[in-house]
Amino acid sequence: MRAFGFLSFGHYGHAAAHGGLSARQMLHDALDITVGADELGVNGAYFRVHHFATQSASPMPLLAAAAARTQRIEVGTGVIDMRYENPLQLAEEAAALDLIADGRVALGVSRGSPEPADRGWETFGYTGSTDPRGADIARDKFELFLRAVRGERLAPADPKQYGPGTRLRVEPHSEGLIERIWWGAGSRDSAETVGRQGLNLMSSTLLTEATGATFGELQAEQIDRYREAFAEAGHTRRPRVSVSRSVFPVVTEQDALMFGLRSGNGADQIGIIDGMRSTFGRTYVGEPDLLVEQLKEDAAVMSADTLMLTIPSQLGVDLNLHILEGFAQHVAPALGWKRNTEGPVVGDPATA
């Protein structure tokens, strides 16, 4: 690990636990957290995308605003649900975002996780899936999205304007954007597919596997298999890999009161998602020296180049910046962290 960022779910709503946070306040808080994180030297600001839910959804306006207000921090998603997307429109918006951000984009996409709406992508107008999870339309859309991002000329031009045989690409086009596309993989097999495609790997907050190994061990094997597939496919660049964890440094008495009893601390969790037995990662809470020791023993954290810290964004700007500052000052340096002032994050070489 040499970089870290925050991953925000963007919760809001009327529940008492959320303090009655409005969607407007959630978005403004997200921007303020991103600006503050940029000033702290944090490397990335990433946002979840869910539909028909009181949390972050359409990400491009937020990411564009964040990019415009910051200088060095990477902005991105974890992840965009391709079932709900028009792939060519997404390619247009992603290119415009990348140009606004001067290449500071980490656009995570995937098939998507379970949503509150039953086959909600059909309500968005995307029908025809024969898979109850919509994986088939997500896969087809993603392939078309990648073709557009690469600059392939997909549309026949009007022969009255261009003459016969001319084809047009999606505009704007951003050179190098393809190297900033990530796939959110939830299993070891899907990670190998990502490697063969030559994309970056965003290892999921859960794995749809439960073998008895720890979450960190499963993810570390997933990362190894991804890098091997990447190299075997003949890709030569240095790919990026991220994992996410909940980490709460206890550096004040208030921290101990706030975080000391958080659920999930100390053990992985096993549950059922999409009908599959799945492994969820533990929550890390403790004094900095303990966190350094525990995270160094987490094989996936040490294998990835980027660690995403899931944050309780609904609890306000000051608290979340306090968490990020505590990690930056007291934990991250011992793990190999390099501030965003030292330049863009570089992945590790992939070897077969």
What's the pLDDT tens digit per position in 61-83? 999 999 999 999 999 999 999 99
Within 10 angstroms of residue 278's Cβ, the number of other Cβ atoms is 20
* Paired tokens of 304: 């990835």
pTM: 0.92
Look at residue 106 in the predicted model and tell me its pLDDT: 98
pLDDT score at 264: 45
pLDDT at site 113: 80
pLDDT of residue 260: 74
Model pLDDT for residues 20-61, shown as the tens digit of each residue: 799 999 999 999 999 999 999 999 999 999 999 999 999 999
Report pLDDT for 348: 94
Tens place of pLDDT for every residue, the chain, 352 residues? 999 999 999 999 865 454 579 999 999 999 999 999 999 999 999 999 999 999 999 999 999 999 999 999 999 999 999 999 999 999 999 999 999 999 999 999 998 888 899 999 999 999 999 999 999 999 999 999 999 999 999 999 999 999 999 999 999 999 999 999 999 988 888 899 999 999 999 987 666 555 567 778 888 999 999 999 999 999 999 999 999 999 999 999 999 988 875 544 555 444 433 444 444 567 899 999 999 999 999 999 999 999 999 999 999 999 999 999 999 999 999 999 999 999 999 999 988 7
Rounded CA-CA distance 66/80 in Å is 17
Instruction: Return d(Cα 246, Cα 205) in angstroms, integer.
Output: 10
Which stretch of DSSP H or E encloses residue 68?
helix 60-69
CB 109 within 8 A of CB 142: yes
* Whole-number pLDDT of residue 272: 37
Separation in Å, CA 144 to CA 134, 234, 236, 255, 293: 16, 22, 23, 47, 44
Kindly report the length of the chain. Answer: 352
| CA–centroid distance for 231 within its chain | 23
CA–CA dist 81, 318 (Å, integer): 30
- The span from the CA of 350 to the CA of 148, in Å, is 26
**Whole-angstrom distance, CA of residue 8 vs CA of residue 77:** 9
The pLDDT, as a whole number, for residue 145 is 98
Distance of alpha carbon 220 from alpha carbon 300, whole angstroms? 4
Report the percentage of the chain scoring pLDDT > 70. Answer: 90
If you ran DSSP here, which 8-state letter would residue 281 be given?
P
